[in-house]
Structure 1
Amino acid sequence: MIYCCEEHVELALDVIVDDYFTAPKLEKITDPEKISTGCEYCRNKAVYVVANG
């Protein structure tokens, strides 16, 4: 599972496809203020969770 911001969502999708060879599952975080986890690629707030299907 990868938490990412709007800017890095495409990178996270590519990583899941490359690592797991499956279609990724993309979910938008409904209330980003309640999540303390930031983007795994920068220090911005996470907006999406990308996981292997």
Structure 2
Amino acid sequence: MKEKHEKIYTCMEHVEQAIDDYVNYNEAAPQLNKADEEEKCAYCQKTSEYLIK
């Protein structure tokens, strides 16, 4: 995940990694929201639980 991300869907297992990646690439604090769409985790393809934007 090298490009800037406007949003990252993530499962519970990868939420900390996703927050770190978001901050590193966007240089801004993210919002952590419960995912309301049926999306897959950006890291493992499990069903996402959170949306980071």
On whether the aligned pair clears a TM of 0.5, the verdict is yes
Runs of 5+ in structure 1 lacking a partner?
A: none
CA shift at 1:25, angstroms?
A: 0.7
Report the structure number with the largest CA radius of gyration. 1
* 1:9 alignment partner AA: V
CA shift at 1:9, angstroms?
A: 0.3
Rounded to whole Å, the distance in 2 between the matches of 1:4 and 1:50 is 8
CA shift at 1:36, angstroms?
A: 3.2
Rounded to whole Å, the distance in 1 between the matches of 2:26 and 2:45 is 25
Higher share in strand: 1
Identity %: 40
CA RMSD of aligned residues (A): 1.1
Stretches of 4+ moved more than 6 A in 1? none
* 1:50 alignment partner AA: I
- Structure 1 segment 34-45 matched on structure 2, within 5 A: 35-45=37-47
Kindly indicate whether structure 1 or structure 2 has the higher relative contact order, using CA contacts under 8 Å at least 6 residues apart. 1
* 2:38 alignment partner AA: S
